[in-house]
Amino acid sequence: MRNGAHRDEAEHRQVQYLASNTVHTRLGQVLEEHGHHLVGAELVDLQHRPGAGATGIFRVQAIPETPGEPQNPKELFLALTAEAVPEDAVIAAGQDVDATWSAWFHPHDPLLTGLALASDPESVASLWGGGGTVVDLQTVSYRPLRRAVLRAVVAGETGRRTVFLKVMRPGLATRLHQRHTLLAAAGVPVPAVLGPPVADVLALEQGQGEVLATAIMTDGARHVQPADVLGILDRMPLELVELPRRDAWSDRIVDYGHAAATALPDQARRIRSLVEHLQRQLDSTDRGPVVPTHGDFYEANLLVSQNRISGVLDIDGCGPGHRVDDLACFLGHLAVLPAVDPRYVYVDQALRRFHSAFVSEVDPAALACRSAAVALSLVAGARDSGRRDWQSSARQRLDIAESLLALPQSAAGW
């Protein structure tokens, strides 16, 4: 317990350090070691992984310290992490606030060795362009040291097409390729792969349809049948249960509670009380049998066309698990959408419709507490939204997590 408390406090200091102006001294030292002078720096992304450490991505303005050359500032992206990374993969390392900070210039992530390749338009065109030219290449998401997704628009003789590049840690892209092949054979509408991985980068065709989140924002997805959503899980092949198991969100509730308390230190006591209550509920409710699961089943990973589920994305976590955790993932994410964007005004209606269908599939009490656990896992993520009022969004997510504990025990309970 003492070691856990010490770790939590250390990571809290890491987050504070990355968000403070004090870190500029470290950034300046790194740049000076590589022939540049720091002019300005802005924190553009802060990731905290409980038990591993904190990572910050900075947009820096730097002047090359080259005698006789024009002193025009240039923009660079510099990363600092307190996580353990290979020494030979970083450009600098040093001690500060009881942590060893390792640095690299984006896109040369020390654990995502294919990111530089996937960030180069000429390389992307050569490997996955099919003879076309990359006319646009954008980062869709990036979790430092974990994974990245880039979107490439390729122009060719037959027009333009979109390719998604998933950059993963060593060995994981091969496993993802196998999952895509397995699910496609079972009739699950996953995007087609463009060959085997290259340098731990898996290229995928664009899926058909719009994300379910769009339909939820428009009218609460009232024309999308919950049975169609459940049908996707029913199609998951039995072979998935033979794959390695990954923790569900509810399995790491203590870590997510720590991350939430680090983001909202003034709510730490309230969060601790919620975690303790959730732990009791998780231990006393029926999780159901082990079945094939998606592992990250929510509105951003489902595509809709003509009111039917037409695509399933982000199948990295597919494997053995419990149906209740997939359904809780869906409800937990759905419930927090108003805290993400105020335009989600139909969430209450959607939550009622989907919960009423889901509650007959699994133990209602288990669904409620696991939905709350998912919402709690999203509290700290508000900090990464880029919003100035992210603390307000984080508190709203915490409110929602608590409210999900009161989900009805049956469809009639609404």
- pLDDT tens digits, residue range 98-110? 789 999 999 999 9
Residue 70: pLDDT band with limits 50, 70, 90:
low
pLDDT tens for each residue of 172-209: 999 999 999 999 999 999 999 999 999 999 999 999 99
Indicate if the pLDDT at residue 385 is higher than 80.
no
Which tens digits make up the pLDDT trace of 209-241?
Answer: 999 999 999 999 999 999 999 999 999 999 999
Supply the DSSP symbol for 244. Answer: P
Question: Any bridge partners for residue 320, and if so which?
Answer: 292
Cβ neighbours for 386, distance < 8 A, ≥ 6 positions apart = none
The amino acid present at 27, given as its one-letter code, is L
C-alpha dihedral sign at 272, 255, 298, 81? positive
Domain ranges of the chain: 2-105, 115-205, 210-413
Percentage of residues of the chain with pLDDT beyond 70: 97
Nearest-angstrom CA–CA distance, 18 and 186: 46
Lowest mean per-residue pLDDT among 170-174, 277-281, 382-386:
382-386
Tokens (6 digits) for 286: 């029926």
Compute CA distances 380 → 31, 50, 226, 375, whole Å. 30, 11, 29, 10
Distance, CA of 389 to CA of 284 (rounded, Å): 37
pLDDT for residue 135: 97
Q: How far apart are CA 230 and CA 362, in angstroms?
A: 12
Q: Average pLDDT, whole number, for the chain? A: 94
- Return the CATH number of the domain spanning residue range 115-205: 3.30.200
147-161, 289-303, 381-395: which has the minimum mean pLDDT?
381-395
Give residue 1's pLDDT band: very low, low, confident or very high (50, 70, 90).
very low
In CATH terms, is domain 210-413 a member of 3.40.50.1240?
no
Bond into 107 cis (ω within 30): yes
Is the pLDDT confidence value at 2 over 70?
no
Residue type, 169: R
Range in 3-17, 125-139, 306-320, 373-387 the model is least confident about: 3-17
